[in-house]
Chains A and B, each alone.
Chain A
Amino acid sequence: MADAEINETPRASRSKKPHVAREVSGTLPVFDIQGLSIVYRSGAKDTKAVTNVDLALMPGEIVGLVGESGSGKSTLAYGACRLLRPPAIITKGNVMYRGRRVREEGMSVLDQSRSELREIRWREIAIVFQSAMNALNPVLKVEDQLFDVMDAHLSLSRTEKRERAESLLDLVGIARDRLKSYPFELSGGMRQRIMIAMALAVDPEVVIMDEPTTALDVVVQREILSQIVELKDRMGFSVLFITHDLSLLLEVANRIVVMYAGHIVEVGTAEQIHREPAHPYTRGLLNSFPSLHGPRRELAGIPGTPPDLSQLPPGCPFMPRCTFATEKCQEVDMKLSPVDASKDAVHTTACPFVKPEDHVAQVNVRTRAAK
């Protein structure tokens, strides 16, 4: 019974192809952040961590959220789940959740009472936290921690819980006898898998993964990523994948959202972000990681440091570090507009000055320079 519920979750809108935009697919996003702004308030000074962010997660989609530390990506995700406490304040915006188990028109996460939130959290929206070392309770066995989640949301007998816990461990590829282990008896990769198992324990519709593989080495990282993709295909949940490593996202995500200083600066499919990056910041990110395959490129990186979010200059926050900056950048309103209006509305950027032709030329220059 437990097996059945975990393994077979028919989803109306499940297909191999990602749903790229709501106009195209016709379905509504399962998790929809609309114009969200979050500040950290201290005295009269506001630190604008997230400013006017729209982000929609379609059913069965993996959306990657990438940015440097301090860009507001975690604040955005936690804020959207109402996990932030003062001094963090949501000043504006709305978050809609439309899962199978809630009424059709969806519910606004920001309007829910505490008890209603308890119902949604983990049951509908689960989070895989960044550091598995700290997120697991060190004095409880793995099994007790898994049971805890089930007790909170399902009414199952002890045998049913055990069955479900065992099938969860099977799902993430850990031997069943590890249920009796304490977290310290597990390796970093295993702990991370336990975290994923725990997130999937009550069959959520949305899984937020906050840097799930950052502390792991590349081989383990790849195993876990392929597992996430496989489980997503099997169980049909949607993933918001937060990381600072763009090279990883290019492989795993359907759609990538690039964040800088609390603003979304570019959205596009992995293909578009990789081949035709429009925003100078995205280009900088793409040029920052050493590649193992192909010819040795000259790496440029991004000069300078991220701005102080409590005293942002007017206009584009990336201006001080941007190689293409002009005076006009002070008037940029950071609204996303299509990169190429003739093609589709998926690929959008907040930089109004760089045309697609320019960056094609740019890319050519880069490859030529490498030779």
Chain B
Amino acid sequence: MTEQTKTSESAVGDVVLEAVSISRDYYLGRGRSGPVLSAVRDVSLSLYRRGVVAIVGESGSGKSTVARMLAGQETLTSGEVRLDGKVVHLKHRRAFRAYKREVQMVFQDPFASLNSVHTVRHHLERPIKIHRGIQGKQAIEEEMYRLLTLVSMTPPELFLPKYPHELSGGQRQRVAIARAIAASPRVLLADEPISMLDVSIRLDILRLLSDLRETLELAMLYITHDIASARYVADEILVMYAGEIVERGPAEEVTQSPAHPYTQLLVSSAPNPDALGSSLKTGTKIVPGQAGSALSSIVGCRFSPRCPFADEQCRTTRPPIVPTNDGRLVACWHLEQAAPSSVALTTKPRTTRAKKVLEKPD
């Protein structure tokens, strides 16, 4: 039993990759005497076969750090990552390489993540040789064709000799995805895979990712600051603010009736074309706020400086995790004010939350 809310009604498989209350601190001063930035604090999540979990948050909320920790590219300050239930240790190169075989990443910027002096062929050839151990020109060639067809870059022979600068943004991102699945991983970590792309191309890439999830049975982590796209891609959404998860639950519930004040702010900030003549045109001002601070010296709720419901308790004590009546978990002291309709009737708020196992409501 973990803190996970098991969500989707679609047939998701077993847990593949699991993070158990992982944290990451950065020391800002010289040595360890200066202020401490806890970029990620006590985050737990599980990635299921054929399931998509989304992390949504503003820049600096620690969402990419979570992905890097899961990818083994960032050390953990505390907590552990488990692959198939076994704790992951990446002390040796060989262990790292074996882990990479299972867990691959797609990065935000396809202009930067591909090497501009190498062709598409080079980018695909290396993971096939390194991770799959496929030998022989013919076999490698066939595999590259298969990969490019999977990401619908056809005909493959046309794209293999091309350099990144000869491709459009969408095509580059397809190559980056093809490179990630070349290792035939079971987990794909996609860090803002569409935010650098044109709006009209984003949809194609999202569709490609969900097709791949089905055909290759991938467990996927989708990181974004665009909660609207998370609604379409993910089964479960985790909302992060200043290094902490403030709300988690099924995608539809989180986006349609956000409970945490920060999620409410996120949802109300998303462009809403159906609200023509909305607050923007009438010039109503919304409260500007600083991005959340994750300094560990902050006690209490990290969202409290921007929160309309904040009081003394919020500023001094870390909020409890409260289950709502529709299967979500929300870290807030004043849920009955922020989201009256979703407060659980039965459960009393718990005062400590770290590492405490929460049962699913009902």
Chain A positions near chain B (C-beta within 8 angstroms): 68-69, 173, 187-189, 216-223, 225-227, 229-230, 233, 244-248, 250-252, 270-271, 274, 284-286, 288-294, 296, 299-302, 305-306
Could you say which residues of chain A place their CB within 8 Å of the CB of B200?
68, 244, 284-285, 288, 301-302
Could you say which residues of chain A place their CB within 8 Å of the CB of B203?
288-290, 299-301
Cβ A230 vs Cβ B168 within 8 A: no
Which 9 pairs between the two chains have the least Cβ-Cβ distance? Answer: A301-B203, A292-B228, A250-B273, A217-B225, A247-B271, A222-B269, A290-B232, A218-B269, A230-B283
Within the complex, the shortest CB–CB distance from B93 to chain A, in Å, comes to 35
Cβ B198 vs Cβ A251 within 8 A: no
Could you say which residues of chain A place their CB within 8 Å of the CB of B283?
226, 229-230, 233
Cβ A251 vs Cβ B273 within 8 A: yes
Q: Give residues 263-302 of B contacting A (CB, 8 Å).
A: 265-267, 269-276, 278-281, 283-286, 288-291
Cβ A220 vs Cβ B270 within 8 A: no
- Bound-complex Cα distance A302 to B207 (A): 12
Determine which of B206, B207, B267, B273 lies in contact with A247 in the assembled complex, contact meaning CB atoms within 8 Å.
Answer: B273
Cβ A173 vs Cβ B288 within 8 A: yes
Cβ B198 vs Cβ A226 within 8 A: no
Cβ A223 vs Cβ B291 within 8 A: no
Cβ A217 vs Cβ B59 within 8 A: yes
Within the complex, the shortest CB–CB distance from A124 to chain B, in Å, comes to 25
Residue of A nearest to B279 (CB): A226
Within the complex, the shortest CB–CB distance from B39 to chain A, in Å, comes to 16
Cβ A251 vs Cβ B271 within 8 A: yes
Residue of B nearest to A246 (CB): B199
Within the complex, the shortest CB–CB distance from B234 to chain A, in Å, comes to 11
Within the complex, the shortest CB–CB distance from A36 to chain B, in Å, comes to 23
Determine which of B169, B171, B281 lies in contact with A251 in the assembled complex, contact meaning CB atoms within 8 Å.
Answer: B281
Could you say which residues of chain B place their CB within 8 Å of the CB of A270?
276
Cβ B199 vs Cβ A293 within 8 A: no
Q: Tell me whether A294 and B274 are in contact in the complex, defined as CB-CB below 8 angstroms, given that A187-B291, A251-B281 are known contacts.
A: yes
Cβ B231 vs Cβ A292 within 8 A: yes
Could you say which residues of chain B place their CB within 8 Å of the CB of A294?
274
- Bound-complex Cα distance A192 to B198 (A): 20
Cβ B286 vs Cβ A222 within 8 A: yes
Cβ B280 vs Cβ A252 within 8 A: yes
Cβ A229 vs Cβ B280 within 8 A: yes
Chain B positions near chain A (C-beta within 8 angstroms): 58-59, 168-171, 198-204, 206-207, 225-229, 231-232, 252, 255, 265-267, 269-276, 278-281, 283-286, 288-291
Within the complex, the shortest CB–CB distance from A269 to chain B, in Å, comes to 9
- Bound-complex Cα distance A187 to B198 (A): 24
Q: Tell me whether A251 and B278 are in contact in the complex, defined as CB-CB below 8 angstroms, given that A274-B273, A301-B207, A302-B200 are known contacts.
A: yes
Determine which of B202, B229, B284 lies in contact with A226 in the assembled complex, contact meaning CB atoms within 8 Å.
Answer: B284
Cβ A223 vs Cβ B288 within 8 A: yes
- Bound-complex Cα distance A226 to B252 (A): 28
Could you say which residues of chain B place their CB within 8 Å of the CB of A219?
58, 265-266, 269, 289
Cβ A217 vs Cβ B58 within 8 A: yes
Within the complex, the shortest CB–CB distance from B157 to chain A, in Å, comes to 18
- Bound-complex Cα distance A248 to B281 (A): 12
- Bound-complex Cα distance A217 to B265 (A): 12
Could you say which residues of chain B place their CB within 8 Å of the CB of A248?
271
8 pairs from A and B in contact (CB 8 Å cutoff): A68-B201, A218-B270, A226-B284, A229-B283, A230-B285, A247-B273, A289-B202, A296-B252
Could you say which residues of chain A place their CB within 8 Å of the CB of B267?
292
Cβ A250 vs Cβ B276 within 8 A: yes
- Bound-complex Cα distance A57 to B281 (A): 18
Residue of A nearest to B273 (CB): A250
Could you say which residues of chain A place their CB within 8 Å of the CB of B228?
289-292
